[in-house]
Chain A
């Protein structure tokens, strides 16, 4: 953990820890010997806290994935909004679909404000479901910034449907390719269940890229992609007549209502699709579970956190820098290109969405667990 921290200056701004540590272990030892105890950030005034300091963003996935790319997109821009001499380094701690990294952040990092953490939708899902390996508690973390990312469901044209209502009459021919029932696929699987579609789930693909190929091959015929991937990779298929978009997952607003996806505003949401099929608004434990999973997986797809015990001045300075960041056109332009046209959420809005997600009623949680146990043999929860 300590190796490259001392040399990241030579590496440039947003560096990584997954580099050959031993190359610099000797160097680092010298530096560490020179400064025995790092100063306490809490004693500094706001606006001075991170001056000349190294701030690490811990990512609980390996390099190259969605969370890693997100952190690396933000790091150099956030660094510009921190005081002079502050440096940001992205640290990858992959393992056990983000549980290893999240546990390490919550239990083993020092709450000194020098490390912040990125969670993904799956970090929430395993937490919501009570996976026994989860040792972290979101209530002990302060949210700093969240970035939503929705998803769009589409089908192959040979099914001959063009609306959710027609989809409900297709019968048992629907084949869905996914990765695992407790990952991001939970959301489409819940949506299919609520809409009453008879979908055969085929799980075990390596990535949503692999399922997209399976869809193009005809191995599956109903598929979802996150909105950025939908816009770059599926819209060309739609234009070529090889895919038909049907609905989006939607997003959860502060009142717990499902609203249209800002990046795909013309598509109906799952709530609209339900109304079209059943003639009334969705309700009940299943729907409540869907909204909670939607809040966790879409509205808060990526969240930046800091330990609650971190010095108040450090938290305040980070909040200020992030408030500046999300107004900065030099950041917003590449962000929009890479993440889709979504608003960034700050602490207050995240708190509201969190209540919708983490505060699921016991009945809804029980329904969700039963659904996973009975349909997907998930026996750990």
Chain B
């Protein structure tokens, strides 16, 4: 139990610091795992994994800086809420839905464990490719009044994602013989540069503070009430989180965007999205904790990590003498159950740990940007440099920051660029494999057809909705 709390503590810290991902947290605790009792070690590892996406909401909401890859969609509405002075309400809603999502996620994971194997095996490369298209289609939802700009930004993201080694053949694109570019642009650098730097620049230029008004409105209770009022949204997004999370090699990074898209499309009134609608916070937050349960399925049953975090978890399991594979459901079932229930318990404690100081921390939004900026710039630079620890990270950070600022000034939507970037490698990879394996015939696979229709609905719905939506807010 003590180790569970140690894990929770580390997870919260890693989540709060922007640009740090679960992979870093995992490598931080891994050395301690040697020689530990497997039950204790699993509590430590899972305690950390479970709460990262709870704590990462702080920077997303308060500063408009994605705390980790799981809370990118939260900034679309969470940060405008902070600007409206509703930081406490946004945080409480986020934490509460994170907790419910985390617990529901663990529960769903427990229930689908027996059928998870055939489910994963049903998703071949063509189906995975269609899932990346579905993720890209949320672009239509996110780009507000001018879908064409959203689509162009998404394509630009795909292009930036193409930098570096091609997925299947040893060709290098746009690397200019620089070893740094061989691996492409790193996600934390892109996310920080795209969202955080432009935000900070504008706050400084306007000599503003984050909350426009001088007082904070709305509090905890309001946040709780929001979650209870939108309980079905929480439930749907949690299930979405688990299901998308269990898709190997894709899940983690798109889940929050897809649930954001779902939150917008299922809402009867959409005017306030992008300007601080609490549903835009609840959707992604309930799914990003739930997905941790989902990503465990490919990790535990097939030995395939669903995210960087689970890749290191896999290493940790190896150290404990547990080999991921079908045996996790038979001989090692006890370990699997420890993992699932630790996930649920850690979610509860993680939420409490975040909720208690949140009222105080929300006051950051009242600090003038001039005083906040030096601290934030150091944190962002460290976060960017941390991703590959190469000087190139700093150059890339400023270059992308400039791009992000120009996009913000000229009213181009930035989330589609991020989605395009995240999905670039996966969509190219699975299209290539589908083509070289099946030729044209993969287009007729039943799964492909179903996902294709869904994608079309998303796209058409997004474009039609665009006409009715007001101008997008801060992001």
Q: Do A95 and B304 touch across chains, with their CB atoms under 8 A apart?
A: no
Contact of B17 among A20, A76, A97 (CB under 8 A): A20
- Residue A64, interface by CB 8 Å: yes
Chain A residue numbers with a CB within 8 Å of B34 are 13-14, 72, 76
Contact of B304 among A19, A93, A210, A220 (CB under 8 A): A210
Q: Do A72 and B315 touch across chains, with their CB atoms under 8 A apart?
A: yes
Q: Do A100 and B182 touch across chains, with their CB atoms under 8 A apart?
A: yes
The distance in angstroms between the C-alpha atoms of A216 and B315, with both chains bound, is 23
Chain B 162-191 per-residue mask, 1 if CB under 8 angstroms from chain A, else 0: 000101111110000101101100000000
Cβ contacts A to B, 30 pairs, < 8 Å: A1-B389, A14-B31, A17-B389, A19-B24, A19-B27, A20-B20, A20-B24, A21-B382, A21-B389, A63-B27, A63-B311, A64-B308, A64-B313, A65-B315, A94-B183, A94-B388, A100-B183, A103-B179, A133-B179, A204-B433, A207-B304, A219-B125, A219-B437, A220-B437, A233-B303, A236-B327, A377-B169, A379-B171, A380-B170, A380-B172
Q: Do A181 and B326 touch across chains, with their CB atoms under 8 A apart?
A: no
Cβ of B395 to closest chain A Cβ, rounded Å: 16
Contact of A206 among B23, B31, B249, B437 (CB under 8 A): B249
Cβ of B392 to closest chain A Cβ, rounded Å: 10
Chain A residue numbers with a CB within 8 Å of B388 are 94-95
The segment out of B75-83, B203-211, B317-325, B411-419 that lies at the interface is B317-325
Given the known inter-chain contacts A202-B436, A334-B321, A378-B170, please indicate yes or no for A133 contacting B23, CB distance below 8 A: no
The distance in angstroms between the C-alpha atoms of A376 and B20, with both chains bound, is 37
Interface residues, chain A, with chain B CB atoms under 8 Å away: 1, 11-22, 62-65, 68-69, 72-73, 76, 90, 92-97, 99-100, 103, 132-133, 175, 177, 180-182, 200, 202-207, 209-210, 212-214, 216-217, 219-220, 229, 232-233, 236, 334, 337-338, 376-380
Given the known inter-chain contacts A217-B124, A219-B125, please indicate yes or no for A236 contacting B168, CB distance below 8 A: no
How many B residues are at the interface, by size bracket? Answer: 35 or more
Chain A residue numbers with a CB within 8 Å of B313 are 64
A-B contact count (CB 8 A): 175
Q: Do A16 and B248 touch across chains, with their CB atoms under 8 A apart?
A: no
Chain A residue numbers with a CB within 8 Å of B180 are 95
The distance in angstroms between the C-alpha atoms of A62 and B305, with both chains bound, is 13
Query: Which of A18, A175, A203, A216 counts the most B-chain CB atoms under 10 A from its CB?
Result: A18
Q: Do A13 and B169 touch across chains, with their CB atoms under 8 A apart?
A: no
Q: Do B321 and A337 touch across chains, with their CB atoms under 8 A apart?
A: yes
The distance in angstroms between the C-alpha atoms of A210 and B430, with both chains bound, is 12
The distance in angstroms between the C-alpha atoms of A12 and B303, with both chains bound, is 28
Query: Which of B35, B120, B305, B325 counts the most A-chain CB atoms under 10 A from its CB?
Result: B325
The distance in angstroms between the C-alpha atoms of A271 and B230, with both chains bound, is 65
Q: Do A204 and B429 touch across chains, with their CB atoms under 8 A apart?
A: yes
Q: Do A16 and B302 touch across chains, with their CB atoms under 8 A apart?
A: no
Q: Do A180 and B168 touch across chains, with their CB atoms under 8 A apart?
A: yes
- Residue B111, interface by CB 8 Å: no
Within 8 A of A (CB), among B207-264: 248-249
Cβ of A38 to closest chain B Cβ, rounded Å: 21
- Residue B378, interface by CB 8 Å: yes
Chain A residue numbers with a CB within 8 Å of B312 are 63-64
Chain B 96-123 per-residue mask, 1 if CB under 8 angstroms from chain A, else 0: 0000000000000000000000001110
Q: Do A213 and B120 touch across chains, with their CB atoms under 8 A apart?
A: yes
Chain B residue numbers with a CB within 8 Å of A232 are 303, 323, 325, 327
Cβ of A90 to closest chain B Cβ, rounded Å: 8
Q: Do B382 and A63 touch across chains, with their CB atoms under 8 A apart?
A: no
What 7 pairs across the A-B complex have the smallest Cβ distances? A204-B168, A64-B311, A209-B304, A96-B182, A64-B312, A22-B382, A63-B27
Q: Do B170 and A64 touch across chains, with their CB atoms under 8 A apart?
A: no
CB closest chain-B residue, reference A233: B325
Chain B residue numbers with a CB within 8 Å of A236 are 325-327
The distance in angstroms between the C-alpha atoms of A181 and B303, with both chains bound, is 23
Given the known inter-chain contacts A16-B27, A18-B23, A133-B182, please indicate yes or no for A219 contacting B389, CB distance below 8 A: no
Cβ of B387 to closest chain A Cβ, rounded Å: 9
Cβ of A261 to closest chain B Cβ, rounded Å: 19
Chain B residue numbers with a CB within 8 Å of A92 are 27
Chain B residue numbers with a CB within 8 Å of A17 are 389
Q: Do A68 and B23 touch across chains, with their CB atoms under 8 A apart?
A: no
The distance in angstroms between the C-alpha atoms of A17 and B385, with both chains bound, is 13
Q: Do B31 and A11 touch across chains, with their CB atoms under 8 A apart?
A: yes
- 10 other A-B residue contacts (CB within 8 Å) besides A100-B179, A210-B304: A20-B382, A63-B26, A72-B30, A95-B183, A95-B390, A100-B183, A202-B433, A203-B168, A219-B437, A236-B326
Chain B residue numbers with a CB within 8 Å of A93 are 389
The distance in angstroms between the C-alpha atoms of A378 and B170, with both chains bound, is 6
Cβ of A17 to closest chain B Cβ, rounded Å: 8
Query: Which of A209, A338, A377, A379 counts the most B-chain CB atoms under 10 A from its CB?
Result: A209
Contact of B121 among A1, A213, A233 (CB under 8 A): A213
Chain B residue numbers with a CB within 8 Å of A99 are 179, 182
Chain B residue numbers with a CB within 8 Å of A69 are 315, 318-319
Cβ of A174 to closest chain B Cβ, rounded Å: 12
Chain B residue numbers with a CB within 8 Å of A96 are 165, 179, 182-183
The distance in angstroms between the C-alpha atoms of A362 and B124, with both chains bound, is 42
Chain B 13-42 per-residue mask, 1 if CB under 8 angstroms from chain A, else 0: 010010010011011101110110000000
- Residue B84, interface by CB 8 Å: no
CB closest chain-A residue, reference B438: A219
- Residue B386, interface by CB 8 Å: yes
Q: Do B314 and A64 touch across chains, with their CB atoms under 8 A apart?
A: yes
CB closest chain-B residue, reference A68: B315
Chain B residue numbers with a CB within 8 Å of A14 are 31, 34
Q: Do B23 and A63 touch across chains, with their CB atoms under 8 A apart?
A: yes
The distance in angstroms between the C-alpha atoms of A11 and B31, with both chains bound, is 8
Cβ of B383 to closest chain A Cβ, rounded Å: 8
Cβ of A150 to closest chain B Cβ, rounded Å: 17
The distance in angstroms between the C-alpha atoms of A232 and B323, with both chains bound, is 7
Cβ of B156 to closest chain A Cβ, rounded Å: 23
Within 8 A of A (CB), among B351-394: 378-379, 382, 385-386, 388-390
CB closest chain-B residue, reference A11: B31
The distance in angstroms between the C-alpha atoms of A209 and B248, with both chains bound, is 10
Contact of B30 among A16, A180, A233 (CB under 8 A): A16
CB closest chain-B residue, reference A204: B168
Cβ of B436 to closest chain A Cβ, rounded Å: 5
The distance in angstroms between the C-alpha atoms of A220 and B433, with both chains bound, is 11
- Residue B432, interface by CB 8 Å: yes
Q: Do A214 and B125 touch across chains, with their CB atoms under 8 A apart?
A: yes
Contact of B437 among A64, A175, A229, A337 (CB under 8 A): A175
The distance in angstroms between the C-alpha atoms of A380 and B433, with both chains bound, is 22
CB closest chain-A residue, reference B304: A209
Cβ of A111 to closest chain B Cβ, rounded Å: 21
Chain A residue numbers with a CB within 8 Å of B23 are 18, 62-64
The distance in angstroms between the C-alpha atoms of A92 and B327, with both chains bound, is 30
Chain A residue numbers with a CB within 8 Å of B314 are 64
Q: Do B303 and A229 touch across chains, with their CB atoms under 8 A apart?
A: yes
Given the known inter-chain contacts A182-B170, A217-B124, please indicate yes or no for A63 contacting B249, CB distance below 8 A: no
Given the known inter-chain contacts A209-B304, A213-B120, please indicate yes or no for A16 contacting B31, CB distance below 8 A: yes
